[in-house]
C-alpha cells in the first residue's frame, strides 16, 4: 500500500473524528439562548424596546431563600452561561491553575507594612503565610515594645464566602477601636467597637452604614454616615454615644439632593469634625469643633451649583483647594473663624497647564500634589523662605503620591513611588536636604529585574488632532514588527486617571511576550481638568474614539496588529470596551470586559438603581431629550448590531452594588442574538462576589488567571 495514500486516509479519519467530536460538544453544550420578552419604554416620542428587561431582580428577590418564577428564570440563564464558559474553557483549566500558582507565588506571604506613628502608637499591618486577610497591629511608644493585635481579619472572615473589614479608627484616648464589616459585597457596613484594653467587642453595633466613623475628642462619641439600602446613596449623618442603642442616635445632618454623596471625617489637626457633600460638579462642607460633639455643625461656605473644593485645617486657618475661577484649581486660605468664600485669600495661583490635586501641610513646609505634563508631581514649598522645588523621580513613566503624614512638626515627607517596571516603594524624603530614604519596596518573590523591561511614553494623534499619551511596557527582546501580542487597557471616566504603576501579576503577560499599554484617554485628568471635561457628557464620544485611535497608532507603529491586539476595561472602563466594540470591532483579536456599565440609558432612567441620580452630571439625564439623544449614540447595549465581533470574556458579580449584574447579562444575551461571527463569547458570573470580585489576598487571582488563560489560548500560547 502506498504510504502517501495510507497517510491521507489517517488524516481523513482524524478530520472526520474531529468534526464528530465538535458536533458532540455542541450537542452537549449549546450556546445559551435567552428568551426575548419585549418591554417598551416610550420617551421623547421614541419607543425604547428592551427584550431582556426581565433579567433584573430586586435585592429582595436575590436574597430570598425560595426563588420566585422570575428569579429562577434569571438564575437558570446565569447558570447556563457559567456552564457554557466552563465547557468552552475546560481545556485551559490546567493552564489556569499554573497561572494562579505563578501569580500568587510572586507575593510575599509573611509581609508587613511600614509603621507610622500616631498619638503615641506605631501602627502597621502584617500578613501571615497562606492567610487571605490582614492582621492590624500597633506598638506603644517604640517599635521595640510588645505587639498588640487590634484585629485579626482572618478570624472574622471564617465561614464567609465574601468578607470586607474596613474603616479602622482609634479613639483619641487610644482605647476604643471602630471597624466595619460587610459580608455580602453590597458595601453596606455594620460598625463594631472593640475595647483594646480588655479585648471585648462592645454591644455598640451600628447597621446600614458607609463603614467609616469620626471620633469626637471625648472618646465617647462618634459620627457616621447611613446608607440607603435601595439606592445605596449616603443620606444622613448620625451621632452615636457609646453604650447607647442605635435607635437613640441623633441625626445631625440630612442630604436632600440625591445627586450628592456625603460623609464625615476628623480633620488632620484633630480640631474639627467635618461633614462633606460631593457631586460631580459641586462640593460643600459643615464643620464642628471636636471638643463639642453635641454642638451644631456650621456651613463652611454656601453651596454653589458648579463649585468644587476641599479643605485642610492647620493651626488657626483652613487651606482650600478650589476651582473657583480656576479650571485646574488653586490654593486659598481663610481664618477658621471666618470660613465663607468672601474671606478666602489666594496662596497659590491657578496654572493653565498644572492641575492642583491636594496638599499636605507641615509646620515649615507645604507639599502640593500636582499633575503636570500628564504625570504626577510633588512640589515642595518652604513656608519660611518661600523657596520651592519639584522632586525628581528618575523615570519618565511613573506614579508618585503622598502617603500617611500625620506629624506636623517634621521636615520628613513620606511618599510612595512606582512605575510600570518598579515595584511600589515607601520612601521618606527630607524636604530640607532633599535626601531620600527607601523604607520598603514591595518584594517580588523569585526576583524581579526592572532592567529586563523597557518602558516608553508614546503619543497617538486623535482624529481631532489631540495628542493622547500611551504608557507602554514590554520585555527586552520584544520585536516591533507587527507580530507582537499586546494588551491595551483604558478607563476614562469621572476624572479618574490610571497612572503607570507596577503589577507583579502583569509579569505573567510580559514574560510570555505580551506588551502592556495604558491609553490615557479623555475623561481622565491626565492633562488636567480640561482633559476630563472633554471626555464627559456631550464630549463622551472622545473617550471611545481616543481608545480606538490609540489602538490604530500601536498597529501603525508595528507594536502589534489587529490579529494580536487585546483590549481590557472594567466598570466605566467596561462601558469603554462596549462602545469600542461597537465602533471598531475589527481592530481587536479579543476583549476582556469586567463588571461593565453597558446599559447606560436604561440605568440612567431609573432612580431606584444604586448610584443613578449621583451620575447624571457625568453621563447625562436621559429625561432631557438632548442628553437622551447623545447617550443613545454610544450606549453599548443600545448599539449592538448585526455584525462580527471579536473574542470576548465578560465578567460580573451577582451582588455587584456599583454595576448591577443584569447589565452584562442583558448585553451578552443581545450579543449572542445579533453577532454574526464564530468567535468565542463567554460570560463568567461570580455568584458570591460584588464589584471588586472575590475578597481576600489570593482568591481574587483565580479570575485573573481565567482572564489570562482566555487571552493566551486565543493568542496560541499554551504554557
Paired sense of beta strands 309-314 and 515-519, if any: unpaired
Claim to verify: residue 587 and residue 561 sit in the same structural domain: yes
> Burial, 347: exposed, middle or buried (Cβ in 10 Å; 0-12, 13-18, 19+)?
middle
What per-residue confidence (pLDDT) applies to 480?
96
Query: Which residues span the domain enclosing 152?
Result: 111-159
Of the residues 232, 262, 295, the one at which a domain ends:
295
CA distance linking residue 384 with residue 100, whole number of Å: 53
> Model confidence over 450-489: pLDDT tens digits?
999 999 999 999 999 999 999 999 999 999 999 999 999 9
d(CA 652, CA 637): 16
Mapping DSSP to helix (H, G, I), strand (E, B) and coil, where does residue 489 land? strand
Backbone torsions φ then ψ of 169, nearest 5 degrees: -150, 125
**C-alpha span between 694 and 653 (Å, rounded):** 9
Asked if pLDDT for residue 499 goes beyond 60, the answer is: yes
> Do 477 and 607 sit in the same domain of this protein?
yes
The SS3 call for residue 643 is coil
- Residue 376 contacts residue 393 (beta carbons within 8 Å): no
* Residue 561 grid coordinates: 496588529
Instruction: Please check whether residues 625 and 520 belong to one and the same domain.
Output: yes
Same domain, 480 and 581: yes
Domain boundary at 232, 266, 295, which?
295
Q: Which residues are catalytic?
A: 571, 656, 691
- The verdict on 72 and 135 lying in the same domain is no
Let me know whether 131 and 99 are in one domain: no
Closest CA to 583 of 548, 620, 537: 548
Enclosing H/E stretch for 543 = helix 541-556
Q: Are 54 and 37 in contact (CB under 8 A)?
A: yes
Query: Does residue 464 sit within a domain?
Result: yes
Residues 145 and 188 in one domain: no
Position 502 pLDDT exceeds 90 = yes
Residues 180 and 100 in one domain: no
Are 572 and 194 a contacting pair, CB within 8 Å? Answer: no
Mean local confidence (pLDDT), 575-588: 98
Cα dihedral 557, 560, 562, 567, rounded to 10, equals: -110
DSSP letters spanning 675-698: --S---EEEEEETT-BTTBS-SSS
Looking at 255, 270, 295, which one is the last position of a domain? 295
Q: What percentage of residues in the chain have a pLDDT greater than 70?
A: 95
Dist. CA 413–CA 40, nearest whole Å: 58
For residue 586, being part of any structural domain is answered with yes
The reply to whether 548 falls in a domain is yes
Residue 129 exposed, middle or buried by CB count within 10 Å (0-12, 13-18, 19+)? exposed
- Number of domains present in the structure of the chain: 3
Rounded distance between C-alpha atoms, residue 509 and residue 485, angstroms: 9
Least confident span in 267-271, 519-523, 562-566: 267-271
CATH code of 226's domain: 2.130.10.120
Whether 424 is in a domain gets the answer no
Within a domain: 170? yes
- Tell me the pLDDT band of 1, cut-offs 50, 70 and 90: very low
Residue 483 vs residue 3, higher pLDDT = 483
Exposure string for 412-444, b = 16+ CB within 10 A, e = fewer: ebbbbbbbbbbbbbbbbbebeeeebeeeebbeb
Reduced to 3 states, what is the DSSP secondary structure of residue 466? coil
d(CA 35, CA 54): 9
Whether 149 and 251 map to the same domain: the answer is no
Q: Within 13 A of 715's CA, how many CA atoms are on the CB side?
A: 28
In sequence order, the 6+-apart residues with CB closer than 8 A to the CB of 426 are 114, 403, 414, 416, 438, 439, 440, 441
DSSP 357-397: EEEEE-SSEEEEEEEETTEEEEEEEETTT--EEEPP-S-SS
pLDDT at 182: 94
User: Are 182 and 266 members of one domain?
Assistant: yes
Q: What pLDDT digit, counting tens, does each position of 402-439 carry?
A: 999 988 889 999 999 999 999 999 999 999 999 999 99
CA dist 198 and 612 (Å) reads 44
In a domain, 303, yes or no: no
In this predicted structure, what is the pLDDT of residue 695?
A: 62
**Structural domain includes residue 76:** yes
- Give pLDDT, residue 536: 96
* Cβ contact 293:218 at 8 Å: yes
Shared domain check, 239 and 99? no
Q: Is 504 strand, coil or helix?
A: coil
Task: Mark whether 641 and 659 lie in a shared domain.
Answer: yes
pLDDT tier at 24, thresholds 50, 70, 90: very low
Hey, what's the cell of 600?
447606560
* Distance of alpha carbon 611 from alpha carbon 384, whole angstroms: 46
Q: Is residue 668 assigned to a domain?
A: yes
Amino acid at each position: 500500500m502506498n504510504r502517501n495514500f495510507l497517510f491521507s486516509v489517517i488524516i481523513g479519519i482524524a478530520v472526520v473524528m474531529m468534526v464528530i467530536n465538535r458536533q458532540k460538544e455542541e450537542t452537549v453544550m449549546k450556546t445559551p439562548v435567552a428568551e426575548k420578552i419585549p418591554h417598551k419604554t416610550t420617551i421623547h416620542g421614541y419607543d425604547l424596546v428592551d427584550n431582556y428587561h426581565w433579567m433584573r431582580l430586586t435585592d429582595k428577590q436575590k436574597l430570598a431563600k425560595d426563588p420566585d418564577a422570575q428569579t429562577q428564570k434569571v438564575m437558570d440563564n446565569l447558570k447556563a452561561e457559567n456552564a457554557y464558559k466552563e465547557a468552552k474553557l475546560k481545556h485551559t483549566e490546567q493552564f489556569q491553575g499554573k497561572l494562579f500558582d505563578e501569580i500568587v507565588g510572586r507575593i510575599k506571604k509573611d509581609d508587613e507594612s511600614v509603621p507610622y506613628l500616631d498619638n503615641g502608637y506605631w501602627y502597621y499591618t502584617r500578613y501571615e503565610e497562606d492567610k487571605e486577610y490582614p492582621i492590624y497591629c500597633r506598638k506603644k511608644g517604640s517599635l521595640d515594645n510588645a505587639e498588640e493585635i487590634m484585629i485579626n481579619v482572618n478570624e472574622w472572615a471564617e465561614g464567609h464566602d465574601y468578607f470586607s473589614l474596613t474603616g479602622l479608627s482609634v479613639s483619641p484616648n487610644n482605647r476604643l477601636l471602630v471597624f466595619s464589616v460587610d459580608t455580602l459585597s453590597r458595601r453596606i457596613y455594620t460598625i463594631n467597637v472593640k475595647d483594646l484594653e480588655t479585648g471585648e467587642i462592645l454591644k455598640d453595633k451600628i447597621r446600614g452604614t458607609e463603614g467609616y466613623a469620626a471620633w469626637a475628642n471625648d472618646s465617647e462619641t462618634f459620627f457616621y454616615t447611613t446608607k440607603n439600602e435601595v439606592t445605596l446613596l449616603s443620606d444622613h449623618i448620625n451621632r452615636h454615644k457609646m453604650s447607647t442603642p442605635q435607635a437613640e442616635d441623633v441625626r445631625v445632618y440630612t442630604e436632600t439632593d440625591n445627586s450628592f454623596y456625603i460623609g464625615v471625617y476628623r480633620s488632620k489637626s484633630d480640631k474639627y469634625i467635618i461633614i462633606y457633600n460631593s457631586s460631580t460638579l459641586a462640593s460643600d462642607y459643615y464643620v464642628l469643633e471636636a471638643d463639642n460633639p453635641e454642638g451644631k455643625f456650621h456651613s463652611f461656605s454656601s453651596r454653589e451649583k458648579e463649585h468644587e473644593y476641599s479643605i485642610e485645617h492647620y493651626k488657626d486657618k483652613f487651606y482650600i483647594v478650589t476651582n473657583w475661577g480656576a479650571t485646574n484649581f488653586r490654593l486659598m486660605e481663610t481664618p477658621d473663624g471666618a470660613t465663607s468664600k468672601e474671606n478666602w485669600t489666594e496662596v497659590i495661583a491657578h496654572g493653565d497647564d498644572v492641575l492642583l490635586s491636594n496638599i499636605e501641610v507641615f509646620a515649615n513646609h507645604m507639599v502640593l500634589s500636582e499633575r503636570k505634563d500628564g504625570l504626577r508631581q510633588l512640589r515642595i514649598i518652604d513656608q519660611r523662605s518661600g523657596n520651592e522645588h519639584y522632586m525628581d523621580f528618575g523615570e519618565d513613566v511613573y506614579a508618585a503620591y503622598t502617603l500617611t503624614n500625620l506629624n506636623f512638626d517634621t521636615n520628613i515627607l513620606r511618599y510612595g513611588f512606582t512605575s510600570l517596571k518598579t515595584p511600589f516603594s515607601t520612601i521618606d524624603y527630607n524636604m530640607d536636604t532633599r535626601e531620600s530614604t527607601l523604607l520598603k519596596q514591595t518584594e517580588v518573590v523569585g526576583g524581579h529585574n526592572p532592567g529586563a523591561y523597557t518602558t516608553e511614553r508614546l503619543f497617538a494623534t486623535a482624529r481631532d488632532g489631540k495628542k493622547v499619551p500611551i504608557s507602554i511596557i514590554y520585555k527586552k527582546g520584544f520585536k516591533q514588527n507587527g507580530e507582537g501580542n499586546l494588551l491595551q487597557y483604558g478607563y476614562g471616566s469621572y476624572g479618574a486617571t490610571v497612572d503607570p504603576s507596577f503589577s507583579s501579576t502583569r509579569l505573567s503577560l510580559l514574560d510570555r511576550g505580551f506588551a502592556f499599554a495604558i491609553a490615557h484617554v479623555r475623561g481622565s485628568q491626565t492633562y488636567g481638568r480640561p482633559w476630563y471635561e472633554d471626555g464627559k457628557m456631550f464630549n463622551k464620544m472622545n473617550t471611545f474614539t481616543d481608545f480606538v485611535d490609540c489602538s490604530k497608532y500601536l498597529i501603525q507603529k508595528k507594536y502589534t496588529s489587529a490579529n494580536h491586539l487585546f483590549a481590557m476595561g472594567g466598570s466605566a472602563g467596561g462601558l469603554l470596551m462596549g462602545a469600542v466594540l461597537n465602533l471598531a470591532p475589527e481592530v481587536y483579536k479579543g476583549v476582556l470586559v469586567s463588571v461593565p456599565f453597558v446599559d447606560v440609558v436604561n440605568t440612567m432612567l431609573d432612580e431606584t438603581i444604586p448610584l443613578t441620580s449621583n451620575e447624571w452630571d457625568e453621563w447625562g439625564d436621559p429625561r432631557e431629550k438632548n442628553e437622551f439623544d447623545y447617550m443613545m449614540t454610544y450606549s453599548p447595549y443600545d448599539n449592538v448590531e448585526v455584525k462580527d465581533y471579536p473574542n470576548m470574556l465578560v465578567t460580573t458579580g451577582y451582588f455587584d452594588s456599583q454595576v448591577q449584574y443584569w447589565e452584562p447579562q442583558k448585553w451578552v444575551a443581545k450579543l449572542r442574538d445579533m453577532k454574526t461571527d464564530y468567535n468565542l463569547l463567554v460570560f463568567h458570573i461570580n455568584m458570591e462576589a460584588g464589584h471588586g470580585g472575590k475578597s481576600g489576598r489570593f482568591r481574587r487571582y483565580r479570575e485573573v488567571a481565567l482572564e489570562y488563560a482566555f487571552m493566551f489560548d486565543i493568542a496560541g500560547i499554551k504554557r
